Structure 1
């Protein structure tokens, strides 16, 4: 892994020039080093042998970390390449630095796709692109399907969170969301002038002119493709960010999975935002683990909703928020049916509530309300 800008720029005062072997380094030489400081302001203090130096790097390295370096360029200011495997936390942090500025909620991408599919009179998309979009949407989970509950688990597996794991097992699914978005991205990229436009450049290209110097009109097929390419890049970055956030933690008793799941509902597209957490119980025993689920959705005509669920053993509690008063009343009128279904599944319902409030808030529960009864 190359460290951008990893030039050694200045020996510290205790490294005398005539005793400094760093200037004699040759390309290909392997060095062992120790970090004497954390990376701060793109600078890092290193010790190589008896020589102490200051290196420039964008990689987050911690004080005391042992590094294996390869000399890329010799001379007065050698350039080194990091060979040491970084920790999972460091790799995760470095990847997120690249992904976070690009990511966009999947809802934005699928809003654009929905508009494109509904616009049959004026359609700027080439036929093969529209066909690919229709195929992508056709593979999404639909609430109209009679086996929605059974297919939900498969849809979660194909949400893009486990794409690489499935490919390594040789079981890539044609309905995998990330794979289908990548295929659509590549298809559009091959249709653009020059074949291979960097998606980060597409925003600037949207405002650019064509070869004759005429600005691209809003209904231009090229402008549509550039805009969709940018949305696809942002959606793929979002999936990758969720994958990084869902990596196994050092503490095996704790784990978080978060992902976004596109769903077809009444000829519309919605994106379920899901966060699943596993935490140890008070006793720390495996069977005492606490599972919590947070789900946000916006299905017409119910409007924005948020569900929080907590499961420990066979004890389950849930709170449902709805922004619309009519939806809140509807949920309250059906809570007993939900309770009966949960009990029929063998669960002990400790708490079941419906509240009116913002579905995108970060508040946990209304004051005085707990998911689990303390007496349980």
Structure 2
């Protein structure tokens, strides 16, 4: 469900805007009558521990503290939705009832949040909450029907607080809501399924990290794979296809060659499948790895423990349907994405004791699939809406490229920020010019004799700025001496060049804030 919901202040009196208060001194009915819980003429303090709506009434669990200090819990029903955490004073006119005064009833309703402090929760903040109650308000002639709900907040500094909201549509009790703060009294719904997909992405990304392994470990082994009775002709063909699809430095130096390498990196395999393309018509790193795994599996000894090895392969086979759902969240509202580790660190898997060559090869191939999927899931995790409302899309991938006899993994991350369409239309009216997209590109590779390097570039309105880092002093000095020539070549390409600097070492790693991961399943 999408649309806006309003946070409206509850009135201080009892007109038609709220549910009429049945003030009779017997607002709370005990489900189990208790004689003499509170002695005549005395008052006890009670705290609402939980609230549950049942048709037109509300079931409460109260913790009652008597004047003696003794505490007990009781269950009661009420005509008022008393928010969890509300503290009230009660008396007991009879064994089956607890009474609170009119003033206390109104105060407990007003105690729920009726507006948001945008200094504490800036515009764009994602709120998550669980619907506790839902009531239709008396309809005003000529006005649409309004439904009032109480929502228990599950994230931010207001976690545990109760928010009173009005909505043009009824909110099902017990469901989880995600909404973005628009102003002090307006929220915008975010489709829940997309937020659940975000959680699924994060969980899968965590599990992938323990299974993934560097691509060059597998590819180097395949290059030197000795002939044996265990290697069938089909396996050899799968290996040859995989190695033949690797681009070289010259190919990646041309726009067409780079575009082809990006398309064949495996990052877009699921997209190809969803659009009906046949991935066998062109090299695809991930598809070729899966074919290699399919050729390796039948040749393994029957005693081989494949549970851990095939885990990545199983997920890979499930990825098309998984990504079909997860891709739906791109461009949707999410908490401010935090950068996932980039580049992924090198991770080489050693042969286990008693493991034969094919078992080790299969484990390396499964780890390589996991590594590609780690990049894919990182892309999904870092796509969403920034704190200032700009749409961010991320594509992170890895291309093994040939450099003479070596295979050098080139890790790449593209990020695009753009203004939402509604804001773009507003800017076109004010400025007569749409805001340009902002592109960021990060590269990471380790190529001899340069050693490990990282490059960060930013492009907006035809203006390029870039920072380069080299871990070897010689490389940093070499690049520094050639920056002027690089600037001239960029200018000759039609770009405006801003900052262009080279540093010795690694890029600084700023603080990272993980995406909100606290969730309640509506079926729980």
Matching residue of 2:410: 272
Which residues of 2 match residues 123-272 of structure 1 at below 5 A? 128-145=234-251, 148-173=254-279, 174-193=282-301, 199-200=307-308, 218=354, 220-245=356-381, 247=383, 253-272=391-410
Deviation by residue 1:226-277 (Cα, 9 ceiling, x = unmatched) = 4235424422432441352365659664322222222222221222222222
Gap change, CA 1:237 and 1:192, over 3 Å in 2: farther
- What is the CA distance between 1:35 and its match in structure 2? 4.8
Matching residue of 2:500: 352
Alignment partners' CA distance in 2, 1:254 and 1:240: 15
Deviation by residue 1:17-67 (Cα, 9 ceiling, x = unmatched) = xxxxxxxxxxxxxxxxx8546789xxxxxxxxxx988xxxxxxx73589xx
Alignment partners' CA distance in 1, 2:300 and 2:372: 19
Matching residue of 2:455: 307
Secondary structure of the 1:277 match is strand
Deviation by residue 1:153-206 (Cα, 9 ceiling, x = unmatched) = 121122223222223333344212222222222222343456997653669xxx
Secondary structure of the 1:318 match is strand
User: Which of 329, 335, 356 is residue 477 of structure 2 equivalent to?
Assistant: 329
Deviation by residue 1:312-343 (Cα, 9 ceiling, x = unmatched) = 11211111110111111221222222112111
Gap change, CA 1:192 and 1:335, over 3 Å in 2: same
User: Do 2:296 and 2:358's aligned partners in 1 also have CA atoms closer than 8 Å?
Assistant: no
303-312 vs 194-203, which moves further:
194-203
Q: CA RMSD in A?
A: 4.2
TM-score, with structure 2 as normaliser: 0.47
User: Do 1:102 and 1:234's aligned partners in 2 also have CA atoms closer than 8 Å?
Assistant: yes
Structure 1 residue ranges without an equivalent (≥5): 1-10, 17-33, 41-50, 54-60, 66-84, 204-215, 365-376
User: Do 1:163 and 1:172's aligned partners in 2 also have CA atoms closer than 8 Å?
Assistant: no
Gap change, CA 1:356 and 1:201, over 3 Å in 2: closer
Alignment partners' CA distance in 2, 1:168 and 1:150: 24
Alignment partners' CA distance in 1, 2:238 and 2:400: 16
Matching residue of 2:103: none
Secondary structure of the 1:358 match is coil
User: Do 1:103 and 1:236's aligned partners in 2 also have CA atoms closer than 8 Å?
Assistant: no
Gap change, CA 1:148 and 1:188, over 3 Å in 2: farther
Matching residue of 2:10: none
Mapped pair 1:62 → 2:198: no
Matching residue of 2:514: none
Alignment partners' CA distance in 2, 1:186 and 1:273: 26
User: Do 1:292 and 1:310's aligned partners in 2 also have CA atoms closer than 8 Å?
Assistant: yes
Which residues of 2 match residues 65-104 of structure 1 at below 5 A? 86-103=192-209
Deviation by residue 1:122-161 (Cα, 9 ceiling, x = unmatched) = 9976554344223212202211448644311121122223
Alignment partners' CA distance in 2, 1:131 and 1:346: 45
- What is the CA distance between 1:15 and its match in structure 2? 9.2
147-156 vs 310-319, which moves further:
147-156
Gap change, CA 1:202 and 1:159, over 3 Å in 2: closer
Secondary structure of the 1:170 match is coil
Matching residue of 2:466: 318
How many residues matched?
291
User: Do 2:413 and 2:443's aligned partners in 1 also have CA atoms closer than 8 Å?
Assistant: yes
Alignment partners' CA distance in 2, 1:352 and 1:363: 21
Structure 2 residue ranges without an equivalent (≥5): 1-50, 53-57, 62-129, 133-151, 156-171, 180-190, 312-351, 428-432, 512-524
User: Do 2:469 and 2:476's aligned partners in 1 also have CA atoms closer than 8 Å?
Assistant: yes
Q: Which has the larger radius of gyration?
A: 2
TM-score, with structure 1 as normaliser: 0.63
Alignment partners' CA distance in 2, 1:187 and 1:35: 51
User: Do 1:280 and 1:286's aligned partners in 2 also have CA atoms closer than 8 Å?
Assistant: no
Secondary structure of the 1:259 match is strand
Alignment partners' CA distance in 1, 2:196 and 2:252: 45
